[in-house]
Chains A and B, each alone.
Chain A
């Protein structure tokens, strides 16, 4: 891989960013974590990310709006939606709007790393999702 993957992670639950940032850094991602969707949007307008991972259900701005903003600015960016309130209709809406993937919580850091590895492959910058610490706990990133 030429350089690190630029990844923005947005979730209004602080525990998610706290747990996932080190897990994603281990597979070669340069991770910026946001809890406030407005601040995340400002950053998205300043910088082009390779991958955006966003929660769907958040106050004021939801993940589907983030998805639209990201793809308007950078159609090549892979947007991965995460939610604790997964339902078929939302999943279909996200995919229709251009999401790369959709994951329901709870998930393990390894689950997300696998999806990010696939996104990196699709971007032409393959990474090894197996490079994570085998001692790392595999319990879910959060419950809901």
Chain B
């Protein structure tokens, strides 16, 4: 059976649909509750993991380096969950990094904007107009956040396999539609799609390990081979390659490590001015 990622412009509504769809499918529903275990594993505050999903890096909040690190921890944990199969995953931004995998059904739930603005205005003593403007700003922020973090526009419908607007479809129908869609043959897991997911999961684990020393690192896996890319000065090249090969090679699934060192032009320029 396919796995489902579900995102929404409304947290409570997204959670409700995810839980109901998971129950109907006999799946587990994985939400932000896994962040507690992620925080303990990496010894970071759980609140910062939540912030990384909801806020952009800022001088007064989470630094860019920690933001990227926290998102990498979350990605690693979410991919491990998706590998277990029979899961509806919500609230962990999985729709932004689990892309190109045919048995992952990506759903976007859009709340009725009128209703949502009404709920916000009644809860915060805001006028309906101001609440609508707030929602617009929130959408713009999510767009910028997703582009900055994953180079994907979360508000772009083409990111998803299905977008359900609850303006015209009621939640019961939405759940029924999701359950029916998981039965389509095109979303059936296959050797290729399962391999893609395993590759992504392995790459994310290797990246988390390497990020402690090399925050800019990118990792791609293909079976037991991994390709690691990072920036360095010419004189650091050999040492860095050795360290990366050693660290990545410690994963039992990894048989070969290719390290691609790109020139760090900013540091090189900075040094030339000294």
> Using a CB–CB distance below 8 Å, which chain A residues touch chain B?
86-88, 91-93, 95-96, 98-99, 101-104, 111, 115
Q: In the complex, A88 Cα to B190 Cα: how many Å? A: 11
Complex interface residues of chain B between 86 and 111 (CB less than 8 A to chain A): 100-102
Whether A88 contacts B187 by the Cβ 8 Å rule is no
Return chain B residues, CB-CB under 8 Å to A101: 190-191
Beyond known contacts A93-B186, A102-B191: 18 more, CB 8 A cutoff: A88-B100, A88-B102, A91-B102, A91-B192, A92-B102, A92-B186, A95-B102, A95-B185, A95-B186, A95-B187, A95-B188, A96-B184, A98-B185, A101-B191, A102-B193, A103-B190, A111-B191, A115-B191
Whether A91 contacts B193 by the Cβ 8 Å rule is yes
Whether B192 contacts A103 by the Cβ 8 Å rule is yes
Return chain B residues, CB-CB under 8 Å to A93: 186
The 13 listed contacts between A and B (C-beta, < 8 Å) are A88-B100, A88-B102, A92-B187, A95-B102, A95-B186, A96-B186, A98-B185, A99-B190, A101-B190, A101-B191, A103-B191, A104-B192, A115-B191
Distance (whole angstroms) from the CB of B5 to the closest CB of chain A: 14
* B11 in contact (CB, < 8 A): no
Which among B185, B186, B192 has the highest number of chain A CB atoms within 10 Å? B192
Number of interface residues of B (CB under 8 A): 13
Return chain B residues, CB-CB under 8 Å to A95: 102, 185-188, 190
- Taking a contact as CB atoms closer than 8 A, the residue among A87, A98, A102, A111 that contacts B190 in the complex is A102
Return chain A residues, CB-CB under 8 Å to B101: 88
Q: In the complex, A103 Cα to B102 Cα: how many Å? A: 12
Return chain B residues, CB-CB under 8 Å to A98: 185
Return chain B residues, CB-CB under 8 Å to A91: 102, 190, 192-193
